[in-house]
Structure 1
Amino acid sequence: MAGSLNKVILIGNVGRDPEIRTTQDGREIASFSLATSDAWRDKGSGEKKEKVEWHKVVIFQPHLVGVVRNYVHKGSKIYLEGSLQTRKWTDPNGVEKYTTEVILQPYSGALLLLDARSNDESSFDEARSSASSSTQEERSKPYQVEEIDDDEIPF
């Protein structure tokens, strides 16, 4: 199908500490659950409502697995870009099951840490600047945030 796109962008909180596994050929894979939520006020009752969605995330990109291992834990707020992948598997009882996951493959996808929970700010900045799927040259540049005043905004 020409013109199709499989891209997922999520901002949410990690639901459990990530699990790092090693494949038979020595590659590391990180996996964790990510919660996203939508909140609204019920028009009829005025009651605040919230719906939480849970997403399974699997990271195959070696550099990002290292970032996850060192900086991501239960409760971390993250931004990620990946693609959806559904796989079929058979449970121990012989029943075929399907699961859909957000996948971050090598050379595609991105992961940004959105909250600083570490006292070592330089390590956090290093992880943040290198977490995206940018080139090595871009990764070597330091991560900087510039403050601007309202009167400097061009609109």
Structure 2
Amino acid sequence: MINNVVLVGRLTKDPDLRYTQSGTAVANFTLAVNRTFTNQDGEREADFINCVIWRKAAENLANMVGKGAQIGVTGRIQTRNYENKEGQRVFVVEVVAENFQMLESRNKQNGQNNANTGASNNNANEHSRNQQNSTQSNTDPFGGSSIDVTDDSLPF
């Protein structure tokens, strides 16, 4: 049997890091994952997927990323159920994340958070300068000229 999940999305809020009675770290978070198609109004919808991650990975997630951060997650789908205070059976479907990967630099995340919270002009100017510097670093680091490649020179 195969139960593998790969998700790329943005955190809807900061991860909720807690510890079990035995001291094991566990973090709950929700990923907003865009659908690949648009609705009738031409807008892209998203699914909000509940996830849980355990141990050191949970601590790393909580310390390294926050609301709005784009991350990639690999894991598995897990179902469970319990009886709530009213005596009703509650069914839960969640992704148990085994690994995560940050898909943006921390500077970019901070820039987005500053823009979302209405940061001062100084922070906006610094973010703008960082963007200019990253644009400049995308130039050819070797200073070489372009290479002419024709169809005849390709081996396939």
TM-score by length of 2: 0.65
- CA contact under 8 A between 1:21 and 1:28: conserved in structure 2? yes
Do the aligned partners of 2:17 and 2:59 also contact (CA within 8 Å) in 1? no
Query: Judging changes above 3 Å, is the alpha-carbon distance between structure 1 residues 39 and 95 closer, same or farther for their aligned structure 2 residues?
Result: same
- Is the Cα contact below 8 Å between 1:39 and 1:49 reproduced in 2? no
Determine which of 6, 9, 12 is the counterpart of 1:12.
9
- Equivalenced residue count is 114
Check whether the contact 1:34–1:54 (CA below 8 A) recurs between aligned residues: yes
Structure 2 runs not aligned, ≥5 long: 109-137, 141-145, 148-154
Identity of aligned residues (%): 29
Separation in structure 1 between the aligned mates of residue 26 and residue 37 of structure 2, nearest angstrom? 36
TM-score normalized with structure 1 length:
0.65
Greater helix fraction, Structure 1 or Structure 2: 2
Query: In the aligned structure 1, how far is the partner of 2:81 from the partner of 2:15?
Result: 22
- Structure 1's consecutive aligned runs of 4 or more residues displaced over 2 angstroms after TM superposition are 39-42
Mapping for residues 126-137 of structure 1, pairs under 5 Å: none
Q: Deviations over 1:29-72 (max 9, x none)?
A: 01111010125356xx7x41222101111001x22112112111
Indicate the structure (1 or 2) with the bigger Cα radius of gyration.
2
Of residues 81, 95, 98, the one that matches 2:88 is: 95
Distance in 2 (CA, whole Å) between partners of 1:95 and 1:36 is: 30
Q: Cα–Cα, structure 1 residues 56 and 102, in superposed 2: closer, same or farther, change >3 Å?
A: same
Q: Give the alignment partner of residue 52 of structure 1, picking from 46, 50, 59.
A: 46
Amino acid at match of 2:51: V
1:118-143 per-position Cα deviation (integer Å, ceiling 9, x unaligned): 48xxxxxxxxxxxxxxxxxxxxxxxx
Within 5 Å, give how 1:47-126 maps onto structure 2: 47-60=41-54, 62-104=55-97, 109-118=98-107
RMSD: 2.6
Match of 2:20 in 1: 23
How many Å apart are 1:91 and its aligned residue?
Answer: 1.4
The amino acid that maps onto 1:13 is: R
Aligned AA (2:53): I
